[in-house]
């Protein structure tokens, strides 16, 4: 009788415990970095050392062919937080839906954190070092969303035993700023932290950039951003270890697109879309390197899969860690309007070839864009072009007044995408195949970018963009550049350009 009473009491107490305590589920931590390519030691970078990311890779799986589906912050983030191509959910224009006219997710589409939350996970969106209590880290979604999908900005306020899904957002390469002054200030800080800043002598620029002193200095500061980010990764791992959570936490490290540079961020060359992706934790095979093609929208499904949660059938991303996963033979990426600058680019990339379609071929390669044009590196490049000091290769790749409607690159022999083979008869078959492959993808995924952004939506977003700059007392000269660019975009569209 006593045994039966004790058994009843035990079962009653157990029934009062939260459901998440009944089965141990792994914590999931995403470390998402701004504006950074795969310049880490484990990816072959030799100018700097990144021991913490390297250690993470040694303890898990490193993907060498991971690509974003959008080479700019908000569109990329709108995609990975839903597991959907940004072009399929209407979130393909950078910083869109911010004005009076809003963007709503299609019916039935739920964000990844909401799925985790509904499954009993504590969800958080923070920065590092931790932002002050109550303040979220970077979201930057282009659609309307409910802040309640996040329980806070840090996992520290979860219930006892509750698993957590945490996103840690960090400025990454944005830390160097956009000017030589801000870059020098950041490097001085790095010199204090690491003992020395990265010298220009260690910098090797890609061949499509001239060895301009401004570009060299900026790249050195960028590499220090990578070192600083690596230090952050070490701090996150150390905290998890100190809290006794490391052995039950899966860490995912990724950037939201490539380096912010002339041919990087906002463009579909590999400098803009190739990113690092490292995943480590319980159940992840250590020391593995995968070279198959993956997309950044896969991080949602794979995280759900690792947590034992059902992956919604609508998700276009895939659980690339599933036992029955079949590798892709191509990845896709798209770029549309960024701030005031109207653009329309699409690409398909296989393990050997990349095909890019320029839907606005009569516009210059580097259209006017106030955000990028104010950076010292773009100022230096434009000045060199006007002075006539660039060589023919740099002029063609950066400052051509018009574009080829199609670009085709053999990445096996031309990894820097210098030689467009679209008009080469020897590659006509490949061009046709990839052209049709891109068409099928746009049809199958319902690419909403096939129709131009309406004037009402463009004007709505431009109003909130300009009003926001005025409220922050933006430099009048810079503000006028934006207004002039807006007028130019409308003029070109009216001309059918």
- What is the predicted pLDDT for the residue at 13? 37
Residue 307 resides in a domain:
yes
Give the number of domains in the chain.
Answer: 1
CA distance 56 to 67: 19
Residue 219 resides in a domain:
yes
Residue 21 resides in a domain:
no
Residues with Cβ within 8 Å of 40's Cβ and at least 6 positions away in sequence, in order, are 50, 53, 54, 226, 230, 276
Residue 117 resides in a domain:
yes
CA distance 91 to 142: 5
- What is the predicted pLDDT for the residue at 24? 81
**Segments forming the whole domain that contains residue 248:** 27-317
- What is the predicted pLDDT for the residue at 474? 83
DSSP state of 197: P
Residue 84 resides in a domain:
yes
Peptide bond into 129 cis (omega under 30): yes
The CA-atom distances, in angstroms, between 465 and each of 70, 136, 345, 374 are 21, 21, 23, 16
CA distance 315 to 256: 19
Q: What is the pLDDT along the chain (497 residues), one digit of tens a residue?
A: 343 433 433 333 333 333 333 358 999 999 999 999 999 999 999 999 999 999 999 999 999 999 999 999 999 999 999 999 999 999 999 999 999 999 999 999 999 999 999 999 999 999 987 666 678 999 999 999 999 999 999 999 999 999 999 999 999 999 999 999 999 999 999 999 999 999 999 999 999 999 999 999 999 999 999 999 999 999 999 999 999 999 999 999 999 999 999 999 999 999 999 999 999 999 999 999 999 999 999 999 999 999 999 999 999 999 999 999 999 999 999 999 999 999 999 999 999 999 999 999 999 999 999 999 999 999 999 999 999 999 999 999 999 999 999 999 999 999 999 999 999 999 999 999 999 999 999 999 999 999 999 999 999 999 999 999 999 988 899 999 999 999 999 999 999 99
CA distance 366 to 378: 10
Residue 83 resides in a domain:
yes
Residue 80 resides in a domain:
yes
3-state SS assignment for residue 290: strand
Residue 428 resides in a domain:
no
CATH number assigned to the domain comprising residue 172: 3.40.720.10
CA distance 436 to 257: 26
- What is the predicted pLDDT for the residue at 128? 84
């Amino acid at each position: 009788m006593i045994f039966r009473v004790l058994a009843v009491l035990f079962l009653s107490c157990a029934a009062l415990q939260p459901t998440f305590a009944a089965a141990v589920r792994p914590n999931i931590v995403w470390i998402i970095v701004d504006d950074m390519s795969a310049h880490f030691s484990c990816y072959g970078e030799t100018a700097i050392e990144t021991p913490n990311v390297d250690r993470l890779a040694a303890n898990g799986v490193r993907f060498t062919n991971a690509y974003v589906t959008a080479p700019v912050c908000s569109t990329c983030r709108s995609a990975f937080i839903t597991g959907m191509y940004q072009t399929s959910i209407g979130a393909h224009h950078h910083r869109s839906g911010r004005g009076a006219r809003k963007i709503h997710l299609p019916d039935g589409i739920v964000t990844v954190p909401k799925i985790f939350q509904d499954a009993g996970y504590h969800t958080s969106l923070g920065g590092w070092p931790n932002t002050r209590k109550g303040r979220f880290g970077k979201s930057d979604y282009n659609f309307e969303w409910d802040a309640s999908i996040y329980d806070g900005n840090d996992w520290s306020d979860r219930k006892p035993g509750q698993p957590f899904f945490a996103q840690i957002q960090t400025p990454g390469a944005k830390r160097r700023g956009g000017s030589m002054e801000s870059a020098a200030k950041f490097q001085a800080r790095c010199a204090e932290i690491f003992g020395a800043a990265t010298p220009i002598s260690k910098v090797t620029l890609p061949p499509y950039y001239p060895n301009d002193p401004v570009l060299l200095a900026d790249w050195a500061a960028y590499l220090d951003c990578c070192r600083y980010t690596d230090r952050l990764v070490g701090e996150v791992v150390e905290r998890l270890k100190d809290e006794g959570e490391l052995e039950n936490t899966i860490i995912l490290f990724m950037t939201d697109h490539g380096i912010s540079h002339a041919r990087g961020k906002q463009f579909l060359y590999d400098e803009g879309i190739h990113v690092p992706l490292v995943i480590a934790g319980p159940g992840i095979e250590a020391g593995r390197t995968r070279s198959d093609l993956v997309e950044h929208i896969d991080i949602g499904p794979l995280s759900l899969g690792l947590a034992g949660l059902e992956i919604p059938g609508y998700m276009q991303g895939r659980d690339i860690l599933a036992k029955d996963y079949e590798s892709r033979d191509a990845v896709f990426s798209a770029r549309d309007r960024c701030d005031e600058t109207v653009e329309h680019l699409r690409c398909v990339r296989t393990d050997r070839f990349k095909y890019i379609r320029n839907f606005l071929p009569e516009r210059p390669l580097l259209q006017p864009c106030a955000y990028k044009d104010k950076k010292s590196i773009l100022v230096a490049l434009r000045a060199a072009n006007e002075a006539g000091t660039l060589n023919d290769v740099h002029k063609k790749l950066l400052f051509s007044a018009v574009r080829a409607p199609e670009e085709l690159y053999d990445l096996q022999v031309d990894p820097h995408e210098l030689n467009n083979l679209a008009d080469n008869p020897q590659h006509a078959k490949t061009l046709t195949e990839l052209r049709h492959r891109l068409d099928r993808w746009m049809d199958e995924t319902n690419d909403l970018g096939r129709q131009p952004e309406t004037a009402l939506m463009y004007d709505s977003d431009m109003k909130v963009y300009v009003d926001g700059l005025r409220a922050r007392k933006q430099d009048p000269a810079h503000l006028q550049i934006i207004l002039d660019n807006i007028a130019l975009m409308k003029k070109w569209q009216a001309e059918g350009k």
